[in-house]
Chain A
Amino acid sequence: EPEVTQTPSHQVTQMGQEVILRCVPISNHLYFYWYRQILGQKVEFLVSFYNNEISEKSEIFDDQFSVERPDGSNFTLKIRSTKLEDSAMYFCASSPIGGTGELFFGEGSRLTVL
Chain B
Amino acid sequence: EDKVVQSPLSLVVHEGDTVTLNCSYEVTNFRSLLWYKQEKKAPTFLFMLTSSGIEKKSGRLSSILDKKELFSILNITATQTGDSAIYLCAVKPTDSWGKLQFGAGTQVVVTP
Contact = CB atoms under 8 A, between A and B. Distances in A.
A108 B41 contact: yes
B89 to A, nearest CB: 10
A76 interface: no
A46 to B, nearest CB: 10
B102 A48 contact: no
A101 B98 CA distance: 8
Measured as residues with beta carbon below 8 angstroms from the partner, the interface class of chain A is: 20 to 34
B48 interface: yes
B60 interface: no
A107 B41 contact: yes
A55 B101 CA distance: 16
Given A43-B88, A101-B92, A106 B42 contact: yes
A65 interface: no
Interface residues of B, number: 23
B14 interface: no
A31 B42 contact: no
29 contacts: A31-B98, A42-B102, A42-B103, A42-B105, A43-B90, A43-B102, A44-B102, A45-B101, A48-B98, A50-B97, A55-B97, A55-B98, A56-B96, A58-B99, A91-B42, A91-B43, A95-B97, A95-B98, A100-B48, A101-B32, A102-B34, A103-B34, A103-B98, A103-B100, A105-B42, A107-B41, A107-B42, A108-B41, A108-B42
Interface of B: 31-32, 34, 36, 41-45, 48, 88, 90, 92, 96-105
Residue of B31, B41, B96, B101 ringed by the most chain A CB atoms within 10 A: B41
Interface string A84-97: 00000101010100
Given A42-B103, A48-B98, A48-B99, A89 B43 contact: no
